[in-house]
Chain A
Amino acid sequence: MFVDFFYSLKKAGIPVSPTSFLRLQRALSLGLINSIDDFYTSARAILVKSERYFDLYDQIFAHKFQGADFKDPTELELSEVAKALLEEWLRDPRGLAQALGIDEKALSKLSPDELIKYFLERLKEQTEAHQGGSKWIGTGGTSPVGHSGYHPGGMRVGGVSRNKSAVKVAMERRYRDYSQEGPLTEAQMGEALKRLRNMVPFGPKNKVNIDKTIYQTTKNGGEIEIIFDRSLRDRLKVILAIDNGGWSMDPYIGIVQTLFNYSRSQFKDLKTFFFHNTIYDTLWEDPPRRTKPFAVDELVRLTPETRFIIVGDASMAPYELMATDGSIYVEERSGRPSFDRLKFIAKTFSHSIWLNPVSIDEWGYTRTISAIREIFPMFELTLDGLEKGVGYLMRKN
């Protein structure tokens, strides 16, 4: 029963295990699930183990069970979506045009009213044409309908006003806020930070040092004295270099910095440096990049085990990266291109990564991003990317 549903979840990338599926079967056979509402909540509790996947689950549930208990979206709902699409269009015309598979230019000729009308027609067409069960709510997150969502406002507690069917609740996509693909918000920051905590094993003072205990006991003339030691722990040294110049980085600095300030207690040694666009001969310890320079050459004196994390959008004019006197600041020009300096850093610290707040889809459009990716493994500054990045930093040798 519902094998198909199970596989759709799996296909969409939700880590569902066969055991949990069997457990769901047991719940079904125990007669605990009597309605589609029950099924929605129970299957989610049993199969899905992280709120990050709740959104995806909602989408797939809505898609799979639309035949069973699904009414066509009302006119009102459709116009909501159309409005959301319009907003999306204003923000990112090209992306939306691509997703809908239409010509950007043709669309840009339309007035807002005409646009809304056009979207509405498209949406109706989609619902009507695909009632046979193929999806009109995107599962991968690219379909425009799925993407803009039914509740741009985000979260809602379905249990409160419960006159909607489970499918409708699923359609609300209440858990969109927790979706993994989203960028790092302040609320998620804590979560990401704790991922870094994985890097430093904690240890209480719980290991008996037998040698010392025996020594101390004999010294006491048989009076037993037990000596405890802390179990070995690997506390990492971390250097964080943040690009804090240029308006493009502005929205992210606060987030990144707080993230690492919090983690100060976790790391034995956390150094924060600042730079603008890319690194030349100096890094700065003060955010205005004025009073406390730190020569890049000095970095060799630090242990090579140090984890070097660079956060920046890596977007600049190509000459800033490649030319011998590339810096936009005259006093920083030294005759060595930044490209070489970055290579030097990557060579000094074998565990180094570049975190980029720019979304991964756009990396291909910026030449300097591609160039820097040749030097550093680059990860997106999202929960997912951070996780991968930390994984990379923690790999052995």
Chain B
Amino acid sequence: MQDDAQSAKFTGASKYVLDEELAKIVNISTALEMPLLLKGEPGTGKTMLAHAIAEAFGMKLIVLNVKSSMKLIDALYQYDTLTRLNDSRFGDSKRDVSNIEEYIKMGKIGQAFVSRERVVLLIDEIDKADTDFQDDMLDVLDQMEFDIIEIDKTIRAEHRPVIVVTSNAKKDLSDPFLGRCNFHHIAFPEPDMMRSIVHVHFPDINKDLLESAIRTFYRLREIKGIEKKPATRELINWIRAMRTDSDFRVKDLIKGEVPYLGVLFKKSPDYVVAQNSIARFKI
């Protein structure tokens, strides 16, 4: 496995523009077999990175979307008591009621552990859950095993999955948890980086459109008093919208008009603020 990790270096994927610094961190985390914790504002491609890693390494991606009410056990396995109860009462299923194992369903972490091949496990937005969730997860990630209490069986990871954890910095993660992860903070892409990101999505994009769209985009991001700044995702959707509109002329954008503002600003107060400031910045 060691050699595996070393020979396969992560260099980016078809739809993901990789920062060199981040590539190093990904490679070192896979080599050390440590979870990689990614923080950063929404739209900086935290989740996309896991997809890109999976694509580049040719591994399956298992996504655990963390919810605020989630308990660790939900992510590990589920004991379907209800089905068993039903089966025991009506007895019309093929399952063996006395064998609890038949009623154990693997959660996302469980699936990653029992998988025959090495997989990429994405634990998305871990900060949504309680700190208990992280603390409980420590041992599991450390030992790469967990017990199923009901059947007194230990599930061991056959192959240590490549683990990517993302956090929107809503809450600080607990120290012991942080101690077991490698950490990286993804900053919002610079215009140059953004240009190549857009290029990856629209290889045939008109140069004028690209330049003026990006210039306008970064200007819009600078408007004060915006609650949710438009991110990469919004930019790409926005460009897509402009490209499909046959009436759209790049000149208008250069003149300072901004069509489809609603694609960029999704909260109505933000929309109003943006509209007002656009009226002011004519070039």
Decide whether A and B assemble into one complex: yes
Question: Which of A's residues lie within 8 Å of B, judged by CB?
Answer: 15, 17, 19-20, 23, 26-27, 30, 32-33, 37-38, 41-42, 44-46, 48-51, 54, 155-162, 174-175, 178, 187, 190-191, 194-195, 197-198, 201-204, 206, 224
Are A45 and B171 in contact, with the CB atoms below 8 A?
no
Are A206 and B71 in contact, with the CB atoms below 8 A?
yes
Distance in Å: Cβ of B263 to nearest Cβ of chain A: 22
Q: Which residues of A contact B71 (CB under 8 A)?
A: 204, 206
Distance in Å: Cβ of A386 to nearest Cβ of chain B: 12
Q: When chains A and B are docked, how far (Å) is the Cα of A158 from the Cα of B24?
A: 13
Are A45 and B187 in contact, with the CB atoms below 8 A?
no
Are A157 and B193 in contact, with the CB atoms below 8 A?
yes
Q: Which residues of A contact B175 (CB under 8 A)?
A: 15, 49
Q: When chains A and B are docked, how far (Å) is the Cα of A7 from the Cα of B97?
A: 59
Question: Which of B's residues lie within 8 Å of A, judged by CB?
Answer: 2, 6, 19-22, 24-25, 27-29, 31-32, 34, 36-37, 39, 41, 68-69, 71, 85, 127, 130-131, 169-172, 175, 178-179, 181-185, 187-190, 192-193
Are A27 and B32 in contact, with the CB atoms below 8 A?
yes
The answer to whether residues A42 and B28 also contact, given A49-B183, A194-B127 and a CB cut-off of 8 A, is yes
Q: When chains A and B are docked, how far (Å) is the Cα of A42 from the Cα of B36?
A: 12
Q: Which residues of A contact B41 (CB under 8 A)?
A: 187
Partner pick for A32 among B20, B28, B68, CB 8 A cutoff: B28
The answer to whether residues A46 and B172 also contact, given A20-B179, A178-B185, A224-B85 and a CB cut-off of 8 A, is no
Partner pick for B20 among A15, A162, A201, CB 8 A cutoff: A162
Are B24 and A157 in contact, with the CB atoms below 8 A?
no
Are B32 and A23 in contact, with the CB atoms below 8 A?
yes
Are B69 and A38 in contact, with the CB atoms below 8 A?
no
Distance in Å: Cβ of B39 to nearest Cβ of chain A: 6
Are B69 and A202 in contact, with the CB atoms below 8 A?
yes
Q: Which residues of B contact A161 (CB under 8 A)?
A: 192
Are B193 and A160 in contact, with the CB atoms below 8 A?
yes
Residue of A nearest to B85 (CB): A224
Are A159 and B20 in contact, with the CB atoms below 8 A?
yes
Q: When chains A and B are docked, how far (Å) is the Cα of A30 from the Cα of B5?
A: 11
Are A160 and B183 in contact, with the CB atoms below 8 A?
no
Q: When chains A and B are docked, how far (Å) is the Cα of A15 from the Cα of B178?
A: 11
The answer to whether residues A197 and B179 also contact, given A23-B32, A27-B32 and a CB cut-off of 8 A, is no
Q: Which residues of A contact B130 (CB under 8 A)?
A: 201-202
Q: When chains A and B are docked, how far (Å) is the Cα of A203 from the Cα of B132?
A: 11
Residue of B nearest to A16 (CB): B179
Q: Which residues of A contact B184 (CB under 8 A)?
A: 44-45
